[in-house]
Amino acid sequence: MSNATPPTNLGWKKWVIGSRPRTLPAAVVPVMVGAACASASNPVWWRVSLAMIVSLALQVGVNYANDYSDG
């Protein structure tokens, strides 16, 4: 009998670390500034939300692509 510990499933943790959460403000701030500038003319908030989601998705995607190209 061996005393080996069973492998833990930490796959999701690698994905979170790979997304580099510390870089996400670079995606959020421009959308927030744009929404603040547009707030005087009654912006369509679903578009602001969609822009935020797309901005975050692009940032995370670029982070993954960068890690992939680094090897």
How many structural domains does the chain have? 1
pLDDT digits (tens, 9 = 90+) for 44-70: 999 999 999 999 999 999 999 999 999
Domain that holds residue 64: 44-70
CA dihedral over 45, 18, 12, 71, signed as positive or negative: positive
Our measurement of the distance from residue 16's CA atom to the centroid of its chain's CA atoms, rounded to an integer in Å, reads 9
The whole-model pTM stands at 0.78
Helix, strand counts (H, E) of the chain: 3, 0
Domain assignment present for 56: yes
Residue 48 lies inside a defined structural domain of this protein: yes
DSSP secondary structure string for all residues of 24-46? THHHHHHHHHHHHHHGGG---HH
Report yes or no on 61 lying in a domain: yes
pLDDT category at 43 given cuts 50, 70, 90 is confident
